[in-house]
Amino acid sequence: MNFAAYLDPETSAWVVESLAHVLWQGTLIAALTAVATLAFRSRSVQARYSIHCTAMLLIAACLPLNMWLLAPTDQSERTNVTRDALTDSIEPKAAPTNIDETLVTGNKTLIPIKATQLGSEAAKEATEPLAHTADSTLTWEWASPWIVGAYLAGICGMVIRLLLGLYGCQRLRTTAQPIEETRLHKVLAGLGERLRLKVVPVVAYSARVTTPLVVGVVKPAILFPAAILSDLTTEQVESLLLHELAHIRRYDH
């Protein structure tokens, strides 16, 4: 099945052009973000975090903005009007009958050339660049559906990867064993208040993890390797929890 046959060439060319602009725009934003990060290296972590979040939002906005600015118009009609006008301007006109006669100069007889033949040759020479442009446009429109198809396939692959990751996290959470230690819950409640968390996460043991991590989006949970907390001091447990809670606070888990 020809997947590209289901994509309109004009629409595909519009999407490809918009994506091409995203490449240089994203590169420029990334370069400016790196410069801003160096300039604010002595500022707080929150300031640098805000810079990177702003940069990601700007890059995400590039594609819809480009598609809006480069939205297709009646360009094909304007091109046809321009081409017709150019063709009319070089179209051969009716030639006088006396020019069609054989021209004689001295003892030499010149080959009779009709004025319409001269006009036809001029029209052919003038329309050759237009034909070349049309061929280039045809090639670009032929390739653009395949480029858009590859882009959509990549999006589908990333969505499937995300869904599989969410499913794996959910399985980890359902197989984990909640921790009932009073000391841990007191430390967790105090850190959650310090970080102004709206939801205090669940803490559990999991035999399927080797390092502490956060799973879940709406209701996050912190998973620890089995029996790891028994070998740690209160300060060490607080450091681990603070690190994981910071991920939840920044929504980057």
Residuewise pLDDT in 10s, the chain (253 residues): 455 555 777 888 888 999 999 999 999 999 999 999 999 888 888 888 889 999 999 999 999 999 999 987 755 544 444 445 445 544 454 444 444 444 444 444 444 544 444 445 544 554 455 444 445 555 667 788 888 889 999 999 999 999 998 898 888 888 888 888 777 888 888 888 888 888 888 888 888 888 888 888 788 889 988 777 777 787 888 888 888 888 888 877 7
The answer to whether residue 2 is domain-embedded is no
Q: Are residues 204 and 226 in the same domain?
A: yes
Q: Are residues 91 and 165 in the same domain?
A: yes
The reported pTM is: 0.60
The answer to whether residue 90 is domain-embedded is yes
At which of 125, 153, 173 does a domain end?
173
The answer to whether residue 24 is domain-embedded is yes
Q: Can you spell out the DSSP letters for 58-115?
A: HHHHHHHHHHHHT---SHHHHHHHHHHHHHHHTSPPPPPGGGGSPPEETTEEPPP--H
What gap in Å lies between CA 22 and CA 69, rounded to an integer?
Answer: 13
**Amino acid at residue number 119:** G
Backbone angles phi, psi at 121, to 5 degrees: -65, -40
At which of 69, 95, 110 does a domain end?
69
* Count of domains forming the chain: 3
Q: Are residues 163 and 99 in the same domain?
A: yes
The answer to whether residue 75 is domain-embedded is no
Domain residues for 114? 85-173
Q: Are residues 192 and 168 in the same domain?
A: no
The answer to whether residue 32 is domain-embedded is yes
Q: Are residues 188 and 157 in the same domain?
A: no
